[in-house]
Structure 1
Amino acid sequence: MEKALCRVCLSKTAIKSLFDAVDEIQYCAKLKKCVKIEIHENDGLPDCICECCVNELNLAYDFVTRCEISDKTLRYLKYQDSKEDGSKDQCIGENQCQESEIVFDLEIKEELDVKCDELLQNYDTDILYADISKLGYSDEDTSITKGDKKSMRKPKRNQKNDKRTKTGPLRCELCGQLTMSQSALETHMRTHTGEKPFVCDTCQAQFRTKGSLKRHFEAKHSDKRERKFTCETCGSSFYRKNDIIIHIRLHTNEKPYVCPYCSKSFSQIASLTRHKRVHTGEKPFSCPICGKRFNDRNLVKKHQSVHSDERKFTCHLCNKSVKSRTTLNTHMSVHSNEKCNICSFCGMAFTMKGNLTSHIRRAHSEKSGHCSICFKSYSDIEAHMRKHTGEKPFLCKLCEKSFAAQRSLSHHMVFKHKNATKFKCAIPDCTKAFPTAKMLEYHLFKHHNKNDTPYICQHCSRGFYRPSDLTRHQKVCHLDAHPKIIL
């Protein structure tokens, strides 16, 4: 048989051996745990598996392991409940669940964090942590924060009359995330408020948690810290063992954290956490100015430039200033005249990727076409031809006004019928109302504060009430100040 034949799907793209081990577990062992088949070396059958089947196998193995963990844990908890009720000898399912029989395999200890999240829905936190501790897990096996450990501290065994307060998990009102204590909830809320109460005495850097401050101090200001862990491949050294483990994955291309939604894998669990928000729609980070929510903290920082007029980055060729380095890099391609974006349909080249996208939509989409009247190409030739014919097939049911495009009808419904009076003028004796805040702002400047024009031309000091009016003025009157670059 062909060596590249996959043992599972029989495709000819198998690249990994079934006897290779990931996290000390062979693929064949995972396969045996999920399905009842026998796999042996030199049995004459294909001994490889393709990348696609590896991802599916990891998902199936994780699911089976999670079921086993949950079953053992629930049976143990039920045994504990029956023990407290005086019915220790009660049968649990088909087998007697005795405390000495609850032994977890080392290979599935990493699933504790998943199990904790699932059990949080039904069990009191104090009882849960006490029961988990009895199962043989150490602090290093869990992903529970220091605040959680403090609130879930295991009670003393010789304390007979332990009257603990049984409080359930606390849920964040903003994003719905569960926390196991009040202190953990307060720490989590700082991701929404942006509060950073822990300050470094040396450099005044601020942090949300005490642990982050400690790691910062050890990395930046501690003289006793040594880089004890060195990579044998590239020679890079690290302070912590966990850091070098993550670094080595760059050389081995190991990605042990698999997305349960799309099978995409990652080398770090933090990357997987950020990626899963794309599927779940969770957006735990919000802009402190406008409240807009994002699924990544870095996106909040990038978004905040919208609220600022500061332009830190300047082009050294034309002195144009922009807000971000990414925008500056995009702008520099205008001067280089490198047209790297080539249309795969007609071969036309463009400097900007956005121009290529617009070109494909306008000239090569299913609805696009060339107008025989005005000799131009349009992304929707049928809608464009209505401008020449005067046809308006989209009718408003409220005022019977007709439009040539569906987008125009939708715009009309929002501005004239649904939100026509959403923003009302607060000036006494003024009954005007507008569908948008920008229109209300223009009304206030023009009719109630005529002496104040917020948008000033930098060339002639003429004032305008709207930014669009200022842009139009600069294009007409000061074209020489900003010469157009022809590509």
Structure 2
Amino acid sequence: MEQQKTSTKFYEICRLCLDENGHCDIFDRNELQDNIYRCIGVKVSLVDSLPQKICAKCLEIIDRATELRIIAKKNDIHLKSLFCCVEGDTSKESITKTEQQADSSQNRVSIKDFKCEDGNREYKCNICSKKFNKWKKLYLHNRLHNKNYACPLNLCTKKFATKGDLEKHIRTHTGEKPYQCDKCDKSFAQRGTLKTHKETVHT
């Protein structure tokens, strides 16, 4: 009888931490088994005769790690589409249609620099062939070719290269001014505008 109780408790504990009681069955959650393996390298199987439950704490960690992994992969693909000719992961989970377009050969920019006749470095956009003397200038220029973030408002057709640029634009629709001057009562939609205000008005 004692052995049966011990056995029951064993299968109720969390498969990952072994500290807490299981919150839910790993195989009841869609793709949870795969996410556990991708995030921490532990393979959980229906036939391994080990606990198959996960506690709430571990579940939250796996969910957050999975979310971070997806975001990081998307951002990695976006960066590679801007600066190098590396093929991105085209799995359903890690890439959207927009990112596939951003990773297409016509949108890739080579960051290979080369020396000019005068010995200075040049960086060339392989989309429009413009040349720049600084890598950062090429980066800023390339954003013009990779406007993948569309304004969600139906009547607005503007597109932007980064989420940050899109967020700034959305403030023009909402009128939101989150950057407040600590010297007066004025507020601004952009941090740069606040900085300019302080430099010109309060110095």
**Superposed displacement of residue 151, structure 1:** 2.2
SS, match of residue 127 in structure 1:
coil
Change over 3 Å in CA distance of 1:51–1:152 after alignment to 2: same
**Superposed displacement of residue 17, structure 1:** 1.2
Output the CA distance in 1 between the equivalents of 2:34 and 2:151: 30
TM-score by length of 2: 0.51
Deviations 1:210-244 (A, max 9, x none): xxxxxxxxxxxxxxxxxxxxxxxxxxxxxxxxxxx
- Match among 30, 44, 48 for residue 49 of structure 2: 44
* Corresponding residue number in structure 1 for 2:176: 191
TM-score by length of 1: 0.23
* Corresponding residue number in structure 1 for 2:108: none
What is the identity percentage for the equivalent residue pairs of Structure 1 and Structure 2?
16
Change over 3 Å in CA distance of 1:182–1:15 after alignment to 2: closer
Compare relative contact order (CA 8 Å, sep 6+) and give the higher one, 1 or 2.
Answer: 2
| Alignment check: 8 A CA contact 1:28 1:39 kept | yes
The alignment status of 1:128 with 2:146, answered yes or no, reads yes
SS, match of residue 176 in structure 2:
helix
Deviations 1:81-107 (A, max 9, x none): xxxxxxxxxxx5xxxx2xxx4353323
**Superposed displacement of residue 147, structure 1:** 7.6
Q: How does 1:83-94 map to 2 (within 5 A)?
A: none
Output the CA distance in 1 between the equivalents of 2:70 and 2:24: 22
- Match among 105, 122, 127 for residue 91 of structure 2: 105
Runs of 4+ in 1 over 4 A off after TM superposition: 122-125, 290-293
CA RMSD, Structure 1 to Structure 2 (Å) = 4.0
* Corresponding residue number in structure 1 for 2:72: 67
The alignment status of 1:146 with 2:153, answered yes or no, reads yes
Query: Which protein is bigger by CA-based radius of gyration?
Result: 1
* Corresponding residue number in structure 2 for 1:35: 40
Change over 3 Å in CA distance of 1:148–1:31 after alignment to 2: farther
| Alignment check: 8 A CA contact 1:148 1:180 kept | no
Deviations 1:138-183 (A, max 9, x none): xxxx784238962228xxxxxxxxxxxxxx87xxxxxxx9433985
- Match among 8, 14, 22 for residue 14 of structure 1: 22
Aligned AA (1:106): K
Aligned AA (2:144): D
Output the CA distance in 2 between the equivalents of 1:53 and 1:6: 8
Gaps of 5+ in 2: 1-6, 100-138, 188-203
**Superposed displacement of residue 70, structure 1:** 2.4
Aligned AA (1:8): L
Q: How does 1:341-420 map to 2 (within 5 A)?
A: none
Aligned AA (1:128): N
| Alignment check: 8 A CA contact 2:13 2:22 kept | yes
Output the CA distance in 2 between the equivalents of 1:181 and 1:69: 18
Gaps of 5+ in 1: 80-91, 114-121, 133-141, 154-167, 170-176, 193-283, 294-487
| Alignment check: 8 A CA contact 1:148 1:181 kept | no
Deviations 1:17-48 (A, max 9, x none): 11123xxx421111110122222112111100
Deviations 1:56-83 (A, max 9, x none): 111112222222222233223223xxxx
Tell me how many residue pairs correspond in the alignment: 135
SS, match of residue 65 in structure 1:
helix
